[in-house]
């Protein structure tokens, strides 16, 4: 006579039952956790019953399996949001407390164009980054960390260059002086190679952001921004060559040794 044993009776006591599967055959369905041996038809007449036992390995809860991919993406989305908002918060604070502009006003048409450009890209980048079908970067968190590192270096370099440019122009004037690297400010070394290192560093920031998020809108924003800043830098270099011809030999606009 076969005793009416429960599922747990067959499971190694050092394991929880949820990491073990029992089958009546190699290709049979896994028996339910509520299985009793006496549930098998004709078992009372059998001299033995053969069960197939398999250790499934550690079994995290269903909630963990469902939430883990989401929380991974959620962490990246939070980082991307902080970086994006932080960049423009920095620009607002610099406009208020750092920059000394050569022109006190700008055309209304430029204001409208700038608002439309930044608002639309913010909307599209946020949509793609937060979409349910968004895929985590190809190389995982290492790719995120490299992108974040580039972004932070770019932001710090951009800020360092803005401080250096501010100190070249006395308050309340439009005097222009030729910029040079600032002692004890290592990231200003690019002044030796390009006319607008602040644009170079901003491009580095957005390359890092694009690498970190791996979204096409971020890449498009970076490319369009670089193209625009390259035109501004080329014009600035042309002006520098007129005003400071002896200082601009070998200087490039935005990319050292290239452009």
Mean pLDDT value of segment 44-59: 67
Beta bridge partners of 22: 53
3-state secondary structure of 254: coil
**At a CB cut-off of 8 Å and minimum separation 6, what does 256 contact?**
190, 193, 194, 200
Q: What angle (nearest 5°) sits at the alpha carbon of residue 116, between those of residues 238 and 135? A: 100
pLDDT(2) > 50: no
**pLDDT of 210:** 98
- Domain residue extents for the chain: 7-55, 64-243
Q: What is the dihedral of CA 120, 205, 182, 179, to 10 degrees?
A: -50
Distance CA 98, CA 167 (A): 9
What is the pTM for the complete model shown?
Answer: 0.72
What are the tens digits of pLDDT across the range 138-187? 999 999 999 999 999 999 999 999 999 998 877 766 677 889 999 999 99
pLDDT band of residue 3 (cuts 50, 70, 90) is: very low
């Amino acid at each position: 006579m076969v005793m009416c044993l429960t599922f747990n009776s067959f499971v190694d006591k050092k394991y929880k039952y949820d990491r073990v599967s029992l089958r009546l055959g190699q290709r049979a369905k896994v028996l339910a956790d509520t299985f009793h041996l006496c549930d098998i038809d004709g078992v009372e007449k059998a001299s033995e019953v053969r069960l197939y036992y398999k250790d499934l390995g550690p079994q995290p809860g269903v909630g963990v399996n469902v939430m883990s991919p989401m929380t991974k993406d959620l962490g990246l989305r939070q980082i991307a949001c902080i970086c994006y908002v932080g960049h423009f918060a920095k620009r607002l604070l610099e406009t208020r407390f750092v920059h000394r502009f050569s022109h006190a006003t700008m055309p209304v048409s430029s204001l409208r164009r700038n608002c439309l450009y930044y608002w639309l890209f913010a909307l599209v980048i946020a949509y793609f980054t937060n979409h349910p079908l968004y895929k985590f970067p190809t190389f995982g968190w290492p790719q995120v960390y490299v992108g974040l590192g580039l972004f932070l270096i770019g932001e710090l370099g951009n800020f360092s260059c803005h401080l250096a440019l501010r100190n070249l122009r006395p308050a309340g004037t439009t005097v222009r002086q030729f910029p040079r690297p600032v002692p004890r400010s290592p990231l200003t070394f690019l002044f030796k190679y390009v006319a607008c290192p602040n644009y170079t560093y901003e491009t580095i920031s957005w390359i890092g952001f694009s690498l970190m998020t791996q979204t096409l809108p971020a890449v498009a924003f970076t490319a369009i921004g670089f193209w625009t800043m390259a035109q501004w830098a080329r014009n600035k270099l042309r002006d520098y060559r007129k005003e400071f011809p002896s200082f601009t030999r070998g200087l490039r606009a935005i990319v050292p040794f290239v452009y």
